[in-house]
Structure 1
Amino acid sequence: MSLTDPIHVDPDDVMSETIGALTRRVEHCGVAVALMDRPWNRDLAHLPQETVSAIVRCLDWREVAERFVSP
């Protein structure tokens, strides 16, 4: 499995508005995660580039489904 492969999991396991929860998921599990794009979570400069590259910004649940749920 790569960071771009579709996944079949509970959305709560791969989506959040908070950086901390998603950072832990990326760093400990090595999976891509969806970050609901919000003004308070736009600054990712303090994170390692490897972590940032695994974060997929999404505007809404429709976009999460399009990017993460395979048919």
Structure 2
Amino acid sequence: MHNLSILQQSYSELTTASKTRFVDLQSLQEFIPSVMTELAWLNEKEEIEISRDWSLKFLNLIEIQSYYMSTNQTLKN
């Protein structure tokens, strides 16, 4: 009888741990798409900055400032 109660207790603990892990996995699966969206957005912004030629003699500073303000506003939201 003692072994049976130990087995039942172990099974109960395992079931509880399994349910907790399942909930955590669901939470992670819900989180991943938003992370992927954020990373895609960040990659897009990075590509813009990498491709910008800062050595140009006549940079369009108004365009750069507008881009900066737009990006800043997006980050605040």
Please give the range of the TM-score, normalised by the shorter of the 2 chains. Answer: under 0.3
- Higher fraction of helix: 2
What's the TM-score once normalised by structure 2's chain length? 0.21
- Higher fraction of strand: 1
What's the TM-score once normalised by structure 1's chain length? 0.22
- Higher RCO, 1 vs 2 (CA within 8 Å, ≥6 residues apart): 1
